[in-house]
Structure 1
Amino acid sequence: MASFNCFALAFLMALSFASIDVGVAARHLLQQPQTPSLLKKTFPPLPSFPKPSFPRPSIPSFPKPSIPSFPKPSIPSFPRPGVLPPLPSRLPSRPKATLAPLPSIPSVPQIPTAIPSIPFFSPPLSHSTP
């Protein structure tokens, strides 16, 4: 797969370099001075020839053949595709499903959300005198 990617990349690069040369050549041709109309050759008009007239051949008339009539086969009637049969007027009762009781889940302990108060102790008195 990697070799295909390298090949594709090399191919795209070659195409881009080729288009650069074409672009340079086109610009070079556009920058050439226009040739004067005197140097262009004018050709004389082609002579007109009379159209030949051929005699039309007469088409003989042939008698038309008669097509024999064959008996047509009878096509059996099938229900049309896409047409659904009618629904019954009374739907059958469905059985009642009973679920087993769920096992009891242990309760998750509660995490306290209030921050307990921290008792505030006053700092010790200083023994220095002012």
Structure 2
Amino acid sequence: MGYFNCISLAFLMALSFPSINVGQAARHLQQLPPMPILSTATLPPLPSIPYLPQPTIPTMPRPGVLPPLPTMPALPSLPSVPRATLPPLPSMPSIPTAIPSIPFLSPPPSPPATPWNTPLFFSIY
């Protein structure tokens, strides 16, 4: 809102500056002495425009006097176009809507317990 007020104030000031100058110019013109009356020079009269001869308009023939238009000849009949039969289109495969189940793999079997891979057996080398 403050931005709008600033813009409107700047716009109002920009409009007021030219009007101040116009007011000063009008006051200056009012304070000048009156202008002397100048004699008006008489101009010679303008020459008259000569009338140009008007062209004669030819008479148009009456609508009933025109000859009749020729008749159009009969168009020959077009031969019949053989119909092309299209083979039947294959049916669209149906899109499955059910989500298939994902087979989960069982973990690999653990190796049999031997004395060499048990944690209780420590080998000393």
TM-score (norm: length of structure 1): 0.38
Question: Which has the bigger relative contact order, CA under 8 A and spacing at least 6?
Answer: 2
TM-score, normalised with respect to structure 2: 0.39
Q: Compare CA radii of gyration and give the structure with the larger one.
A: 2
